[in-house]
Amino acid sequence: MKKKIGFIAVIGIFLILAINADFSGGNGTEVNYGLFTLVPPVVAIVLAFITKDVIISLFLGVFSGAFVLHLADSNFVVAFVQAFLSVVDYALISLSDPWNAGIILQVLTIGGLIALMTKIGGAKAVAAALSNKAKGPRSAQVITWILGILMFFDDYANSLIVGPVMRPVTDEKHISREKLAFIVDATAAPIAGIALISTWVGYEVGLIKDGYESIGQSVNAYGIFIETLPYRFYNFLMLAFVLATALLLREFGPMLNAEKRARENKAKDFDDFAVETSKEVEDMEPAEGVKLSIWNMIVPIGTLIVSAFIGFYFNGYNSIMESGENATIAILEANPLSFLAIQETFGASDASIVLFQAALLSSLVAMAMGVSQKAFTWTESVAVWINGMKSLIITGAILLLAWSLSTVIGELGTAEFLVSLLSDSMPVFLLPTIIFILGAVTSFATGTSYGTMGILMPLAIPLAAALSTDPEFVIMTTGAVLTGAIFGDHCSPISDTTILSSMGSGVDHLDHVKTQLLYALVVGVISCLFGFIPVGLGVPIWIAMPVALLVTVGVVYFLGTRVDEVSEDKLAEKN
């Protein structure tokens, strides 16, 4: 009943405000949406928490944004009808984008790959091997953290691989699915965003280059990117936070309750907490008679990683040779295998297409291995692959609506409106902190770190250069844009990596968001108070970063409550 009342209240308030809205600008012709630019993300996020249904919440977020856009030049009834039609248009536009289509194909294909590896016993063999290494909750979480770091080259690949691989291990060690999803999510974008070679680097370097050119400076953009790394407080502090909670076995907030619940249940009871979409993959036991071998997962996953690296290189190489700058082309022609050449090609590659191709190749390898081991025939292997894809169809639907929401938010100018609220006047030393917070709020509301970086970077670099002549100040502000965008994206319920992490870990999406949110906010606050504010005041980074790391560990130790391993004997007594 409370959910229904809350749902009706949100929609009712929105409709009343919309009917009385005045979008006319100062000259009578310019459209000024004002606070209504915040309607789509607010509706989507609030309803997601009220209804617990991400699909409906995202749909109504897109619908409300389209309604506001049409209400500016139509009456209520026409705007309502046009808004519904626009939702369909936004979905079609999102799906027609090659990048988005590649991401959906990649997601579905990796779902099929996971099903194949499960059927030939690879997943179970790896889980058994890792279980031998993982003696308890502490080591199981550390192993998950290490695997997440090893998937540094792409955040999507991290979210889709680490969760399903480690899920049986963490279940056996009585670690909650919520904690698994948090570790996966915390080692996705935070790692990919600071990796020296990843699918993120090219985009970040390109934004830095354009930002410096806007103030009349020609710089080595990759060099500036390297210089921003010490100022990426949230990324490094989040990695330290995850490791600290694992080693100390201390939790607080909603995660503490989730972990206590997990410790008190046998591994077989974990299915009670799994989302329906993950059960199709989980229920696919190895084919009868198949000999369990870790190579049945190592070979397909190794193929995925190796082919992805090769694909990043050649895809980026071809892109640069076709339409790249002369200087970059010269680097590839002079020394095509140098570190700089590899970095440039990785940055110029289309990650969505490359990872789809790599997943497809890996699936074929897994099929061939299964057929050779008589786990299934070629016809049956295709059926297994497609069945695995079905388990992630809902993920594709959520991503499609999330992208549609991002489009309507862009048309309303939500991010620009948020920027205008804070950029009029500010103390100089607070600029990096405010940029970090603004990036976090914007990416949380929009669900995209890429979009937030693209909007804020052209504003942040000129603003920093105008307020201070110190080149280091511009660099720390640039770092604030990049890490602030990741902070907001990390804890946003409409972020694609947040969605993929919950799906891959087999936990309800909203449960993942609720348990992760407090942790992300704590690390974000530490990043401001012990990171950006001190360096803005002139404290050297070699002092600020160690202090921030110590504070992070201290917060886990003093605020957290220890959640010890529960022995099987005690579990047997309770059950």
In this predicted model, what pLDDT tens digit does every residue of 273-330 receive, in sequence order?
444 444 444 444 676 667 778 898 889 888 988 998 899 899 889 988 988 788 888 8
pTM of the model: 0.72
pLDDT score for 487: 93
Q: Please tell me the distance from the alpha carbon of residue 538 to that of residue 529, in angstroms, as a whole number.
A: 14
Q: Give CB contacts under 8 A, 24+ apart, made by 408-412.
A: 408/40, 408/62, 408/65, 408/66, 408/69, 408/86, 408/90, 409/37, 409/40, 409/41, 409/65, 409/445, 409/446, 410/451, 411/65, 411/69, 412/33, 412/36, 412/37, 412/39, 412/40, 412/65, 412/68, 412/69
Three-state SS for 166-184 is HHHHHHHCCCCHHHHHHHH
By mean pLDDT, which of 342-356, 470-484, 556-570 is the weakest?
Answer: 556-570
**Element (DSSP H or E) covering residue 354:** helix 351-372
24 three-class SS: strand
Q: Please tell me the distance from the alpha carbon of residue 457 to that of residue 435, in angstroms, as a whole number.
A: 10
Q: What one-character DSSP code corresponds to residue 374?
A: T
By mean pLDDT, which of 235-249, 400-414, 487-501, 533-547 is the weakest?
Answer: 400-414
Question: Does residue 325 come out as left (phi exceeding 0), alpha (psi in the -120 to 50 range) or beta?
Answer: beta
- In this predicted model, which residue has the larger pLDDT, 237 or 99? 237
pLDDT confidence tier of residue 2, bands split at 50, 70 and 90: low
Give Cα separations from 563 to 157, 176, 264, 323, 392 (angstroms): 30, 12, 11, 55, 32
pLDDT score for 527: 96
Half-sphere exposure of 572 (CA within 13 A, CB side): 3
Q: Please tell me the distance from the alpha carbon of residue 244 to that of residue 236, in angstroms, as a whole number.
A: 12
- In this predicted model, which residue has the larger pLDDT, 61 or 454? 61
pLDDT score for 112: 86
**Element (DSSP H or E) covering residue 491:** helix 471-491
pLDDT score for 275: 42
pLDDT confidence tier of residue 230, bands split at 50, 70 and 90: very high
In this predicted model, what pLDDT tens digit does every residue of 109-156 receive, in sequence order?
887 887 888 888 886 777 667 767 878 899 999 999 988 887 776 787
pLDDT score for 77: 81
- In this predicted model, which residue has the larger pLDDT, 197 or 208? 208
173 token code pair:
């060690």
251 three-class SS: strand
pLDDT confidence tier of residue 49, bands split at 50, 70 and 90: low
pLDDT score for 5: 60
pLDDT confidence tier of residue 259, bands split at 50, 70 and 90: very high
Three-state SS for 78-103 is HHHHHHHHHHHHHHHHHHHCHHHHHH
The whole-chain average pLDDT of the chain stands at 81
Percent of all residues in the chain with a pLDDT value above 90, rounded to a whole number: 25
By mean pLDDT, which of 23-27, 38-42, 228-232, 309-313 is the weakest?
Answer: 23-27
Q: Please tell me the distance from the alpha carbon of residue 420 to that of residue 523, in angstroms, as a whole number.
A: 26
